[in-house]
Amino acid sequence: MGHRGRILLLALACAGAIAGCGLGPGRGTSNVTVTVTRGFGTGTVGTITKSKVPGSETVMRMLERSFHVSTRYGGGFVESIDGLSGNGSRHDWFYYVNGIQAGQGAASTDVHAGDRIWWDLHDWSATDTIPAVVGSFPEPFVHGIGGKRFPTALECAKDTGVACKRAGSGLNASGVPVASQLLGTGSGQATITVIVGTFNDIKPVIAAALLAKGPGSSGVYAKFGAGGRTLQLLDPAGKVVRTLGPGSGLVAATADANSTPTWLITGTDPQGVAAAASALSAGRLRDRFALAVRGATDYSVPQQGAS
């Protein structure tokens, strides 16, 4: 069964047994943001931040408090937000909490302090699973996953010392302590890892292998070509629509089914990696699924993402 099938079943189960879906009394939480966009973050629908949130809040209830929402499948699956809806052409609403794609229905996902909840309406013809995105930075580093914060490890290739320092500074500036180590030494599943290196440096890493296989495996609409010397940007259908040459970099996140997210700060060469590392900030990453850079130009990934 595919990922979306599992989400639908969970949503249906939650709708059928609503009393067990986080609606009981509990301690309140705070500083939760809900962002709604379309087309992989290229169009903004609205953003709200709540300084105080009831302890019984779920992702679905918080969305319904702030936007006009219609649902289907017994109320467990979002059909439209503020009049924008999916259709039969593989356009639907997906949501992410602290940059992590939801593993269950919104009606059964509790809200935790500091959560950044992001709903996006987009084309899923290339993949219906995008395990992690970068547009909620500095999450998931600050507030973690499911209310649990994880340590952050910075793994750097030997030839990208400048980029490694920039990445560490970007994380530190957001209040994230990091432990730096050499690429390939391993961080464990209980760690969020940030890998810094050229694509050729990081090839042995599982996350890089997923990236090389395309969005169906990594959820990232970019890949490297010409032996790692070019960066190819894809459209929502998974087709190459732009190719960047030397000095190009990429900030992306992915995960396999058994691990916490891995962030990749990579590029065609050390200069491209350094350019990508300089983009590790909330301002440049906001509402982007991934970000490609070349010189002073930023490129949202995927390209031509308006739905």
Higher pLDDT, 307 or 92: 92
Q: What is the pLDDT of residue 19?
A: 28
Residue that wins the pLDDT comparison between 214 and 185: 214
Q: Tell me which long-range contacts 180-188 makes (C-beta under 8 A, separation of at least 24).
A: 180/153, 180/154, 180/155, 180/156, 181/153, 181/154, 181/155, 181/156, 182/155, 182/156, 182/158, 183/155, 183/156, 183/157, 183/158, 184/155, 185/155, 187/153, 187/155
Q: What is the DSSP letter of 270?
A: H
Per-residue DSSP letters for 108-126?
A: G-B--TT-EEEEEEEE-SS
pLDDT at residue 34 above 90? yes
Residue of 294, 254, 257 lying closest to 272 (CA atoms): 294
- Model pLDDT for residues 210-237, shown as the tens digit of each residue: 999 999 999 999 999 999 999 999 999 9
Burial code of 148-161, b = ≥16 C-beta within 10 A, e = fewer? eebbbbbbbbeebe
Burial class (CB in 10 A: 0-12, 13-18, 19+), 76: buried
Q: Is the pLDDT of residue 305 over 70?
A: no
Half-sphere exposure of 44 (CA within 13 A, CB side): 9
The CA-to-CA distance between both ends of the chain, in Å, stands at 26
Q: Among 288, 138, 275, 133, which residue's Cα sits nearest to residue 198? A: 275
pLDDT, residue 28, reads 60
Cβ 110 vs Cβ 58: under 8 Å: yes
pLDDT of residue 170: 95
- Write the pLDDT tens digit of every residue in 46-105: 999 998 888 788 999 999 999 999 998 777 789 999 999 987 678 999 999 999 998 889
CA distances from 235 to 126, 303, 305 (A): 9, 5, 7
Residue 213 and residue 120: Cα distance in Å, rounded? 24
Give the residues across from 264 on adjacent strands: 195, 252
Q: Is 223 helix (H, G, I), strand (E, B) or coil?
A: strand
Q: What is the pLDDT of residues 149-178, one digit of tens each?
A: 999 999 999 999 999 999 999 999 999 999
Q: Which pTM value belongs to this model?
A: 0.88
pLDDT band at 39 (very low <50, low <70, confident <90, very high): very high
Per-residue confidence at 14, pLDDT binned at 50, 70, 90? very low
Mean pLDDT of the chain: 87
